[in-house]
Every structure is written in structure tokens, then in C-alpha cells.
């Protein structure tokens, strides 16, 4: 046990690796009959929304810049990936690079806009970009399939081996762990300190010599790249996308993910994504009394946001603090008892 604790204490993100290993065991649990296929789909949904949530957490939680255009960038990434792999028959990894790079370029443009506007005005501007993208998804039916939607397939590795749902799930788990490790590293480095300073006061950040242009572009670039990557994971796991799915409602749900899970906490979006997208499907809809209520997920999310804001403004992750305190206190008492017995 002590050896395991030493491993975790060496690098904090070893917890992410351990979590990724546990998550990757879900397909094995399905084969053993412990989980059904619908549970795997829901957990996969939690994974790609966690990736998107980490990006929005960097933007809003650490940088203090708000965006309501997350769904639009996620949709752009998904449609690009489907078009490049299905219609143009490009290799999977090349299509991922292109599908992330194009939304990234749009995100950098929005980063330039953020130098002139901020707060609610920036939120409205990003919402406008998302609505424009949604209309583009409807009109450009050669690229997106219009109202009929766009189909894709599971990833083909090097154009030869097509993965099934189980291996696609494992691949997404690996991507999530890599995203968490990468984000943890740069947030705890100079970039993260600059983000937090900029979030506190842009005037103070300027006085300290922080380049606002550089770090605002970085924040928007990361958020849009993660959103696009989440869209790529979505289309190759769900294998279908339609324009109405990329609405402001989805952007607000992803915003709820980081509010509920905990802003400025790297694992907050993962917890939030499970609560917002996993709990309604895996738990609430299994309860006979409330399973037939329409819009249950939205009701649950809304009530939970109110509760979190009132009692846990730093997210439900703070619920773990009393448990940690109790464990530490219990260990201290045990150590004291042991030392007293030794002295006797």
C-alpha cells in the first residue's frame, strides 16, 4: 500500500493514468456481462464531453474568458472528420489533425476579438459564431448532409484495421488521460500562472509584463482545439451527427459540466461530465417513478447547478474534502495511539 502511495505522490498525474486504466476495463466488464452496451455508450459520451469540458475549464476557469460557442466548434470538428474520412477517404490520423486545425484557426480569430470585448459581450459574440456554424451545417449539405445528418465509421488505423466499439472506447480513454496530463503540466507551469493573473486583473497582468494577446490566443486555441477533438471522438464513436445536436443547449450543458464538477480543478470536468451526461442515463432513467418524465436531464442539471452554487461554489469535488479530512484525522489518531503504545 505504501509503495502505491509513493508512486502516486511522485507525479500527481499518475492518478490520471490509474483512472484511465480503470476506465479502459469497461469493455472487458461488458464482455463478462457486468455492463451492457448502452452503459459503454454512455461512458463513451462522458469521455468526449470530458475532453471538451477540460478545454472550457482552461478558458473560463483559469483564464476568465467565457465562450458559448463550444457546441459549434465541436460540431465543426465532427463534420470535418466525417467528411475527410468517409468522402475523401483520408487516413484517420491525418483527418484528426485537419479537423482540429481548422476550428483552432477560428478559435484564434475569436481570441483576437476578445482583446476588444469581454464579459457578457464576449459570450454573446461566441454564441453568434456558434449559431453561424450551426446554420452552415444545415446549408452545406454536401459536407454535412444537412438535416439528414452525416454518418461515419469507427476509426481505421493506417487505413487497414477498423476498430470496433470496445477498442474505440479504449482509444478515447487514452486520449482523455493524455489531455489531462498535458493540461495539468501547462496549467502548473508559467502559462497557468499567466492565465490566473489575467483572470484576476488584466491591468495587473499588463503591469507584470504578461502579453495578453499571446495568452488570450493560447486560451481560445486550447478550448477550441479540445472542443474539435471532442467532436472527432464523438463522430467516430457515435458514428452519426445532425445539425440540431450542436445547439446552444449543448454549450450550456458543457458549461454546467465545469460549474458542477469544479472550475480550476483539472479533474472537475470529468466528474461534471459524468454527473450531467452519465447520471441521468445510468441512474435516474432506471428509477420507475421518474423514468417517464420528459426533460429529466435538464431538470436534474438545473437543480444541481443551483445546489452547487449555493453550497459548493467550487464544485461537487469539494464533497471529497471532508472525506479526506476524516481519513487524515483517522490516520493521525492511529499514529498517536501507536506511539503511545510504543512508549509504554
- Name residue 162's beta-bridge partners: 156
- pLDDT confidence of residue 4: 44
Return the C-alpha cell found at 24.
479502459
- pLDDT confidence of residue 210: 86
**CA-CA-CA-CA torsion for 127, 128, 129, 131, nearest 10 degrees?**
90
- pLDDT confidence of residue 316: 78
Taking the C-alpha atoms of residue 171 and residue 325, their distance in angstroms, rounded to an integer, is: 35
Burial classification of residue 318, based on how many CB atoms lie within 10 Å of its CB (0-12 exposed, 13-18 middle, 19 or more buried): middle
CB 63 within 8 Å of CB 202: no
Domain ranges of the chain: 2-313, 316-344
* E strand or H helix that includes residue 241: strand 240-241
- pLDDT confidence of residue 340: 64
Return the C-alpha cell found at 12.
500527481
The residues, ordered by sequence, that sit 6+ positions from 174 with a Cβ below 8 Å of its Cβ are: 20, 24
Class of domain 2-313 (CATH, top level) = mainly alpha
* E strand or H helix that includes residue 161: strand 161-162
CB 187 within 8 Å of CB 195: yes
- pLDDT confidence of residue 234: 96
- pLDDT confidence of residue 82: 93
Give the pLDDT means over successive 10-residue stretches in the chain (344 positions). 45 81 91 88 94 94 90 94 91 93 90 79 88 90 86 82 87 94 90 88 85 89 94 94 89 90 87 88 74 69 78 74 66 67 62
Amino acid at each position: 500500500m505504501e509503495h502505491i502511495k509513493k508512486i502516486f505522490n511522485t507525479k500527481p498525474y499518475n492518478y490520471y493514468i490509474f483512472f484511465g486504466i480503470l476506465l479502459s476495463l469497461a469493455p472487458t466488464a461488458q464482455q463478462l456481462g457486468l455492463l451492457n452496451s448502452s452503459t459503454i455508450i454512455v461512458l463513451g459520451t462522458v469521455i468526449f464531453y470530458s475532453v471538451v469540458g477540460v478545454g472550457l475549464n482552461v478558458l473560463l476557469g483559469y483564464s476568465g474568458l467565457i465562450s458559448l460557442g463550444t457546441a459549434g466548434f465541436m460540431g465543426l470538428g465532427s463534420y470535418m472528420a466525417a467528411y475527410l474520412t468517409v468522402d475523401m477517404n483520408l487516413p484517420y490520423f491525418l483527418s484528426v489533425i485537419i479537423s482540429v486545425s481548422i476550428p483552432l484557426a477560428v478559435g484564434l480569430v475569436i481570441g483576437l476579438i476578445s482583446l476588444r470585448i469581454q464579459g457578457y459581450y464576449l459570450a454573446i459574440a461566441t454564441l453568434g459564431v456558434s449559431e453561424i456554424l450551426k446554420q452552415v451545417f444545415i446549408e452545406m449539405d454536401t459536407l454535412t448532409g444537412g438535416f439528414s445528418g452525416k454518418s461515419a465509421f469507427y476509426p481505421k488505423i493506417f487505413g487497414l484495421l477498423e476498430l470496433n466499439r470496445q477498442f474505440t472506447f479504449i482509444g478515447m480513454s487514452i486520449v482523455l488521460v493524455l489531455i489531462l496530463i498535458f493540461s495539468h503540466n501547462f496549467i502548473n507551469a508559467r502559462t497557468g500562472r499567466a492565465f490566473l493573473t489575467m483572470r484576476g486583473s488584466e491591468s495587473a497582468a499588463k503591469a507584470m509584463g504578461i502579453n495578453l494577446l499571446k495568452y488570450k490566443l493560447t486560451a481560445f486555441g486550447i478550448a477550441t482545439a479540445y472542443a474539435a477533438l471532442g467532436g472527432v471522438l464523438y463522430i467516430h464513436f457515435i458514428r452519426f451527427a445532425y445539425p440540431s445536436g450542436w445547439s446552444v443547449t449543448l454549450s450550456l450543458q458543457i458549461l454546467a459540466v465545469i460549474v458542477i464538477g469544479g472550475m480550476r480543478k483539472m479533474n472537475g470536468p470529468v466528474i461534471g461530465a459524468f454527473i450531467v451526461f452519465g447520471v441521468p442515463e445510468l441512474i435516474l432513467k432506471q428509477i420507475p417513478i421518474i423514468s417517464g418524465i420528459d426533460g429529466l436531464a435538464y431538470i436534474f442539471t438545473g437543480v444541481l447547478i443551483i445546489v452547487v452554487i449555493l453550497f459548493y461554489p467550487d464544485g461537487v469535488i469539494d464533497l471529497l474534502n471532508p472525506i479526506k479530512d476524516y481519513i487524515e484525522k483517522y490516520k493521525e489518531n492511529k499514529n498517536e495511539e501507536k506511539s503511545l503504545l510504543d512508549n509504554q
